[in-house]
Copies of this chain bind each other. A is one copy, B any other.
Amino acid sequence: MSENELVAWLRRRIRAAGSVQVGPGDDAAVLAPSPGSRIVVTVDAFLEGSHFPSGSQPARIGHKVIAASVSDIAAMGCYPSHCLVTLGLNEACRQEFVRELGEAMIAAAEKYGAPVAGGDVTSGPSPLVVSVTVLGETRDLSPVLRSGARAGDRIFVTGSLGGSLLGRHFEAEPRIEEGLFLNRDMGVTAMIDVSDGLSTDLNHIAGESGVGAIISETAIPVSDDARELEQQDGVAAIRHALEDGEDFELLFTVPAERTALLRESWSFDVPVTEIGEMGGDQVLIERADGSRQTLEPRGYEHTWSGQ
């Protein structure tokens, strides 16, 4: 199968996805947003060797790049609507590899309600590189920014953190319904997805909101993966939970008076945990012994837009 034949296959495969007024096969895709809706849009680049190891299964890569990108829309508390992708292939990318990669991206995008509406393929000598654009809609909601946290707001996180590099990063599940619920029904004041690590992402919220925070080490939901990784590398599981990143859980702040309602009405499979409170002018962690330290933003920092 030549590159042109591969491209033709991908185009046919996507054309079937529907829900797009004009899809692949024209100069641009044409989308009809919900009336009155604002558009949210994010782009992410994924590089072989940085965002997934060389030799990774194409189906795992395809799922991850879509899930991780859609997670940014979930973190805005908005509705994902469409994906567009660019693939930078190389000689080592065989037909079967590209088919599986394409099918996995298409399947993940449909699963998350954001069908692939277009893309571009290039070939060159580089490692595999995938760039994903995700569009979403606010519909009747306002997007939840990182900058809305206020002193006294309580800090929560979904799921458990750390050790995703053992493989969980490939199984990312964007918290779309949770994000919509938190936005629509809970009036959360700030939200971010934990992609760079809890320490870094909490600092993002604090920095953008102009208020400090304190979290309790003993409250942080440490994943089993983080504990397993501690056995392998001798780095404390709590540090993995704070710094590893790629958890794609939601970190958010909610006014103190709504925390009881939040706990009562939380009906999702993934747990939600209160880990601290906004306030002061520093980002601190209270250790198990009661001491307080600055929580440095350690972890991945490979983006210049936080997207």
Identical copies of this chain, number: 2
Interface string of A40-57 (1 = CB under 8 A from B): 111111111111000000
Q: Is A307 an interface residue (CB 8 A)?
A: yes
Which of A71-79, A211-219, A227-235, A236-244 interfaces with chain B?
A: A71-79
CA distance A31 to B35 in the complex (A): 14
Q: Is A270 an interface residue (CB 8 A)?
A: no
Q: Is the CB of A39 within 8 A of B45?
A: no
Number of interface residues of A (CB under 8 A): 80
Q: Is A305 an interface residue (CB 8 A)?
A: yes
Once A133-B43, A193-B27 are accepted as A-B contacts, the answer to whether A51 and B122 lie under 8 Å apart by CB is yes
Q: Is the CB of A39 within 8 A of B31?
A: yes
CA distance A304 to B118 in the complex (A): 9
The one of B6, B50, B117, B306 in contact with A304, judged by C-beta atoms closer than 8 angstroms, is: B6
CA distance A277 to B196 in the complex (A): 56
Q: Is the CB of B121 within 8 A of A304?
A: yes
Q: Is the CB of A120 within 8 A of B41?
A: no
The one of B6, B8, B24, B136 in contact with A28, judged by C-beta atoms closer than 8 angstroms, is: B136
CB neighbours of A290 from chain B (8 A) = none
Nearest-Cβ distance from residue A92 to partner chain B, whole angstroms: 13
Q: Is A84 an interface residue (CB 8 A)?
A: yes
* Interchain residue pairs with CB less than 8 A apart (14): A14-B305, A24-B304, A26-B76, A26-B147, A27-B75, A28-B73, A30-B138, A43-B131, A45-B87, A45-B88, A50-B122, A50-B124, A119-B307, A122-B302
